[in-house]
């Protein structure tokens, strides 16, 4: 059977605790679908949320940069849900339309030159290998 979402009302206490933390941390009235589906595995839910919170926290990189990198990877992998959710997340963190447009250009070029490098079998310059 196709995986089904777990809504808050039907969730176990373990799942509710994670949902509550997501809602508080993000100041949102409900968690988004990703968490409702992942709640089918409460251990994975807890681990993934805990990891994501740690990884996406402000640090050496700004939150908007982290969200844009997340979007860049999702675009490269063509994950439709992830593109939609991290586009929204990046905008919330401050990404403007101009920033989005430049991001897409960089992602496009990187995917292009990655293949030119593969096809021409370019060896690594000694200067890049130190």
| Binding residues for a copy of itself restricted to 48-107, rule: CB under 8 A | 48, 51-52, 54-56, 59-61, 65-66, 68-88, 91, 96-107
User: 83-87, long-range: CB within 8 Å, 24+ apart, which pairs?
Assistant: 85/32, 85/34
- Cβ distance 75 to 83 under 8 Å? yes
20/47 with CB nearer a copy of itself: 47
Residue in 17, 21, 23, 32 binding a copy of itself, rule: CB under 8 A: 32
Interface with a copy of itself (CB under 8 A), residue total: 80
- 8 lies in the site for a copy of itself, by CB under 8 A: no
- Cβ distance 35 to 18 under 8 Å? yes
């Amino acid at each position: 059977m196709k995986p089904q979402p777990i809504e808050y009302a039907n969730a176990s206490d373990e799942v509710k605790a994670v949902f509550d933390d997501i809602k508080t941390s993000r100041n949102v009235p409900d968690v988004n679908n990703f968490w409702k589906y992942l709640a089918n595995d409460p251990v994975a839910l807890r681990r993934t949320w805990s990891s994501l919170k740690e990884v996406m926290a402000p640090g050496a990189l700004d939150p908007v940069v982290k969200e844009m990198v997340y979007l860049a990877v999702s675009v490269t992998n063509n994950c439709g849900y992830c593109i939609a959710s991290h586009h929204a997340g990046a905008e919330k963190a401050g990404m403007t339309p101009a920033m989005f447009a430049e991001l897409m250009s960089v992602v496009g070029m990187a995917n292009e030159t990655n293949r030119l490098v593969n096809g021409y079998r370019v060896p690594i310059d000694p200067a890049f290998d130190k």
